[in-house]
Chains A and B, each alone.
Chain A
Amino acid sequence: MATRVHMEALSPTMEEGRLVKWTKHEGDAVKSGDTLAEVETDKAVMELVARADGQLLKVMVPEGTTVPVGNIVAWIGKPGEKVDGAGSQESGAGAPKPAAAAAAPAAKALAPAPAPAPVPVAAVSDATRVKASPLAKRIAKEAGVDLKLVQGSGPGGRVIKRDVEGAPAPSPAAPVAAPAPRPTPDARRTGVPYEDVPLTQIRKTIAKRLAASIGPIPHFFLTTEIDMERAAEAREALNQQLGEAGGKISFNDIIIKAVALALVQHRACNAWFQEDHIRYWNEVHIGMAVAIEDGLITPVIRNADLKNLREIGAESRELAGRARTRRLKPEEYTGATFSVSNLGMFDIDQFTAVINPPEAGIVAIGSIVPKPVPEGGGDRLVVRRRLRVTMSCDHRVIDGATGAAFLRTLKQMLENPLAMLL
């Protein structure tokens, strides 16, 4: 059966479009997705695309014609197939404008179109397939309405928004879309990658005022010193176990893993600031700042909390290598939920890193240096390998105590690496 090609709306408020150019002509073979014509409004040109395979049987309007949205501009069908050309051509200017009506129900109150000619529904309608606007389909799906049971009032019996909205609620037996899951405290079990929590009024005010006071992101910094003796011992033991064959585990790998695990316990720090809400991630993706020739890029280790040290080590070496030769794909350096910047190899004791928006935090890792530290209640000094870690927090998301609690967990993990196995 022949398929109509309608004038489409380039915007919800558009009532008519100017067909400026036919790119296919009567008799041309067309495939679904092929461009048939160009439609212009204002300074925009949109391609009108075929939604069926076949032959362009009939072109109903010449180039340069202004056509109301929803009107038939062409027919696609099997070669030789007859189309009810005259009837639909007559429907011209008076035909309903489904897109405009669907977008603005109030438009119904306006004067009705003068004597619209009947659209030849029966001649071409396809009984097995329901014709409906994408908006109507979406609303129907959300409401659980069976489109087959809805009487369409759009052109050619097409089901449009208002038809679906007037449709009866589904019977209990009908499949109903599941209600939106409520946020659960144990969010990681839900299988949902993140949860958007709207900003409360106080959060909005805090965000605005702090941002106005220092730059676009109100940073604050928390520093802690971590004893790395046990992490160093664990690293040596693991590397001995791996032998020469397996890639060595670095301090950086251990730190990335510890940060990821600490974030699992402190979801409040694993978040994005997004103008009107905070996105708390249930997944942990760690951005790893890598210095490249004339700048810096942060490849992302996805789901770092779920990977073992060997996997993290192999992945971070591979990503860092490709980052330096600029062979990273955009999806490999975007989407981190928190970042780690390590300048330990440059003999930096301590530094502050700048947050990579929209993330809310980053930890800056200094060098591991042997230092005398008091022991046994302070009556003697011992030399221990120590590491200074500074966390930069976006104050719009993380408050001082929140950041401090995360840092304490990170410190505990690194000082007692066995805790990472729990």
Chain B
Amino acid sequence: MKVLEVIEAGTIPYAEALDWQRQLAEDRIAGRLPHDVLLLLEHPPVVTLGRNSHVGNLLEPSGIEVFEVERGGDVTFHGPGQLVGYPILDLSAYKRDLHWYLRTLEQALIAALAVLDIPAERNAGFTGVWTRGRKIASIGIHVKQWVTWHGFALNVTTDLAHFDRIVPCGIQGVEMTSVERETVKGKRERLWDESVGAVIAGFENAFGVSVIPSPEGAARQEHASLRT
């Protein structure tokens, strides 16, 4: 069975996480990393522009860090309460098919939301995950030699007002939502932990992988060495 190491990394500044994933992807391509990895983390508030971005979709650019990055997609927001996942997967072991990968990522998130009792679905032509006509998770990926990085952002308890600064994903009139908003009863800490567990389970099912715990110390060490 394919193995997926899940690293719960806590809150990490965007630039640092970007370096980390690029390094993990290079290691995966070169074979130095023998298995796939899923980074789960949060970012301090940041706006990122994908390769398909239109500057006009950044409505209120002041007061927040903005990054232009190599992932697919348009503009999006990351911030506290949003569960960001960066899968570093070697698609050669699955399917050399980015559409399959996008659809399977969506499937993993739909399965995760089902666990949280939120009915979710795809919206044909608009990559991402939607619930009751609102968008709850965004997806934007990058691949080199069939190794992926970048990934998804699931709003758990995100302050949705931040999305007013942008035209999320370049879709005019899109309304963003969160797990918290779609959940009738919601205690914040419980929601976060449940969402993390649900996403990991969603990955296991959608990708047919066996999740291995990350030796936390090793992950921190590795990450610390990148900071220097």
Q: Which residues of A contact B96 (CB under 8 A)?
A: 11
Stretch at the interface among B8-16, B40-48, B214-222: B214-222
Q: Pick the contact of B99 from A11, A33, A275, A330 — CB < 8 Å?
A: A11
Interface contact B51-A20, CB-CB below 8 Å: yes
Q: Pick the contact of B215 from A14, A326, A358 — CB < 8 Å?
A: A326
Q: Which residues of B contact A49 (CB under 8 A)?
A: 144-145
Interface contact A44-B34, CB-CB below 8 Å: no
Q: Which residues of A contact B101 (CB under 8 A)?
A: 44
In the assembled complex, the CB of B147 is this many whole angstroms from the nearest CB of chain A, namely 10
Interface contact A45-B141, CB-CB below 8 Å: yes
Residue interface mask B96-117, A partner, CB < 8 A = 1: 1111111000000000000000
Count of chain A to chain B residue pairs whose CB atoms are closer than 8 Å in the complex = 99
In the assembled complex, the CB of B226 is this many whole angstroms from the nearest CB of chain A, namely 18
Tally of contact residues, A, Cβ under 8 A: 33
Tell yes or no: B70 within 8 A of A by CB. Answer: yes
From 8 to 55 in chain A, residues with beta carbon under 8 angstroms from any chain B beta carbon are 10-14, 20-21, 33, 35, 38, 40-47, 49
Interface contact A45-B70, CB-CB below 8 Å: yes
Interface contact B34-A330, CB-CB below 8 Å: yes
Measured CB to CB, the nearest residue on chain A to B97 is A11
From 189 to 228 in chain B, residues with beta carbon under 8 angstroms from any chain A beta carbon are 208, 210, 212-213, 215-218
Measured CB to CB, the nearest residue on chain B to A276 is B208
From 119 to 158 in chain B, residues with beta carbon under 8 angstroms from any chain A beta carbon are 127-128, 139-145
Tell yes or no: A251 within 8 A of B by CB. Answer: no
Q: Which residues of B contact A328 (CB under 8 A)?
A: 215
Docked complex Cα distance between A83 and B143 (Å): 29
Residue interface mask B19-36, A partner, CB < 8 A = 1: 000000000000000110
**Given A41-B98, A274-B1, CB of A47 within 8 Å of CB of B34:** no
Residue interface mask A332-376, B partner, CB < 8 A = 1: 011000000000000000000000011000000000000000000
Docked complex Cα distance between A275 and B206 (Å): 12
Interface contact B1-A358, CB-CB below 8 Å: yes
Query: Secondary structure of the B side of the interface?
Result: mixed
Residue interface mask A275-309, B partner, CB < 8 A = 1: 10000000000000000000101000000000000
**Given A11-B97, A326-B218, CB of A42 within 8 Å of CB of B212:** no
Interface contact B127-A43, CB-CB below 8 Å: yes
Measured CB to CB, the nearest residue on chain B to A10 is B98
Docked complex Cα distance between A49 and B210 (Å): 31
Q: Which residues of B contact A12 (CB under 8 A)?
A: 97
Docked complex Cα distance between A334 and B213 (Å): 10
Tally of contact residues, B, Cβ under 8 A: 36
Q: Pick the contact of B212 from A44, A45, A334 — CB < 8 Å?
A: A334
In the assembled complex, the CB of B57 is this many whole angstroms from the nearest CB of chain A, namely 15
Q: Which residues of A contact B217 (CB under 8 A)?
A: 326-327
Measured CB to CB, the nearest residue on chain A to B142 is A45
Chain B CB within 10 Å — which of A11, A38, A333 has the most? A11
Measured CB to CB, the nearest residue on chain A to B205 is A275
Q: Pick the contact of B72 from A44, A272, A275, A358 — CB < 8 Å?
A: A44
Q: Which residues of A contact B64 (CB under 8 A)?
A: none
Tell yes or no: B71 within 8 A of A by CB. Answer: yes
Interface contact B210-A358, CB-CB below 8 Å: yes
Tell yes or no: A331 within 8 A of B by CB. Answer: yes
Q: Which residues of B contact A10 (CB under 8 A)?
A: 97-99, 143
**Given A20-B52, A326-B215, A333-B212, CB of A44 within 8 Å of CB of B145:** no
Could you list which residues of chain A lie within 8 angstroms of chain B, going by C-beta atoms? 10-14, 20-21, 33, 35, 38, 40-47, 49, 272, 274-275, 295, 297, 326-328, 330-331, 333-334, 357-358
The 4 closest A-B pairs by CB, nearest first: A11-B99, A43-B127, A11-B97, A47-B144
